Amino acid sequence: MTSGGDCPGLNAVIRGVVLKGIKSHDHEFVGFLDGWRGVVDGDIIELPRQRVRGISKQGGTILGTSRTNPYDGPNGGPENIAATLDRLDVDALIAIGGEGTLAGARELTDAGLPIVGVPKTIDNDLDATDYSFGFDTAVQIATEAIDRLRTTGESHHRCMIAEVMGRHVGWIALHAGMASGAHAILIPEQKVSTAQVAEWVREAHDRGRAPLVVVAEGWVPEGDAEPWAERGTDASGRPRLGGIGEHLAPEIEALTGIETRAATLGHIQRGGVPSAYDRVLATRLGMAAVDAVSDKRWGTMVSLHGTDVVVVPFEEALGNLKTVPQHRYDEAAVLFG
């Protein structure tokens, strides 16, 4: 099952699971459609070997996804889901998802269900894994887009603001900003005043550069109310993000007198072909997950430690976001302005 926001590399996990499971363990596979919704409704497709042929380079997920909760509806909750798995002759579930999905998986394993998790997020904010697949692709896409913003900014002698994803953490902004040589990187972990951003913009402009600001969608200017507060929440109850770049552009323009434009990259960062790095990582995680299932290591998650894929219990893996540490921001900030 794939659940939560999609992510380049999901199909490579599915292929890794199925191929390793068939070749090493003689398992058979079905896929639950659209995240927990398919598990709750018992909505499956067969996943024979030929169904996963060539899919590791495809974006998205062949199983579909949703942000549904496993406790939703009359068929949700551990007892109903156990009965559904039993009826479908399913011995174990591999849940591929982010913090929310895996927290649901943890509750279900605590209630006795046989589940192994695979961490997924382009935001790279899961604490127990050094990198999550999808992050490398997102950084690559964001960097390419920011490089393009730079050339149009240079032609018009404008300041350009690129807004990238990153609801709680700024890993994408930090890496794409460093890769593209941004003059300021703004991330949720760091309170920075708009006046300071304007100062960095002015410094770059005074050296004859077209200032480039990379901002994570979850950044809040120091001293500001959350600028998106009036935009309310989405269907899953989360604040609607997207728009901090547009909010910032007129303020920078007013403070510096430099014409400023903003572009929000949004879901472009989550779509399309995964990078080679993400395909390899995702395939390895999928293979390790099916080994963990064969060993009946319920309530665990596969994760990357250094260059090794290891298995960690949910209780160690969940609950803490992996934020950008101060020293990583300070290192990048030397290059600002």
Residues engaged in binding ligand F6P (CB under 6 A)? 5, 98, 121-123, 165-167, 217, 241, 270
User: Is 51 labeled as ligand-binding?
Assistant: no
User: Is 258 labeled as ligand-binding?
Assistant: no
Cα–Cα separations (whole angstroms), residue 247 to 113, 175, 228, 242:
46, 23, 9, 10
Instruction: Give whichever of 114 and 242 is closer to ligand F6P, judged by the CB atom.
Output: 242
User: Is 123 labeled as ligand-binding?
Assistant: yes
User: Is 244 labeled as ligand-binding?
Assistant: no
Of 190, 169, 69, the C-alpha closest to 121 is 169
Of 275, 276, 299, 279, the C-alpha closest to 289 is 299
- Closest separation in Å from C-beta 217 to ligand F6P: 6
- Closest separation in Å from C-beta 75 to ligand F6P: 23
Helix 171-180 crosses helix 135-156 at what angle (to 10 degrees)? 50
- Closest separation in Å from C-beta 312 to ligand F6P: 20
Q: Is the distance from CB of 274 to CB of 6 less than 8 angstroms?
A: no
Instruction: Give whichever of 165 and 201 is closer to ligand F6P, judged by the CB atom.
Output: 165
DSSP at 2: B
User: Is 58 labeled as ligand-binding?
Assistant: no
Instruction: Give whichever of 241 and 285 is closer to ligand F6P, judged by the CB atom.
Output: 241
Instruction: Give whichever of 123 and 136 is closer to ligand F6P, judged by the CB atom.
Output: 123
Instruction: Give whichever of 4 and 16 is closer to ligand F6P, judged by the CB atom.
Output: 4
Q: Is the distance from CB of 6 to CB of 61 less than 8 angstroms?
A: yes
How many CA atoms does the CB half-sphere of 275 hold within 13 Å?
17
Provide the 3-class DSSP secondary structure of residue 180: helix
- Closest separation in Å from C-beta 33 to ligand F6P: 18
CB-based contacts of 286, cutoff 8 Å, min separation 6: 12, 13, 14, 15, 16, 17, 20, 94, 118
Instruction: Give whichever of 115 and 122 is closer to ligand F6P, judged by the CB atom.
Output: 122
Other beta carbons within 10 angstroms of residue 80's beta carbon come to 17
- Closest separation in Å from C-beta 241 to ligand F6P: 5
- Closest separation in Å from C-beta 123 to ligand F6P: 5
Place of tokens 């803490």: 320
Of 279, 5, 2, the C-alpha closest to 125 is 5
Which residues does the annotation mark as catalytic?
A: 123
User: Is 50 labeled as ligand-binding?
Assistant: no
User: Is 150 labeled as ligand-binding?
Assistant: no
Cα–Cα separations (whole angstroms), residue 191 to 69, 110, 223, 240, 329:
33, 38, 8, 20, 12
Question: Which residues define the annotated binding site?
Answer: 5, 67-68, 98-101, 121-123, 158, 165-167, 217, 261, 267-270
Question: Which residues define the annotated binding site for substrate?
Answer: 121-123, 158, 165-167, 217, 261, 267-270
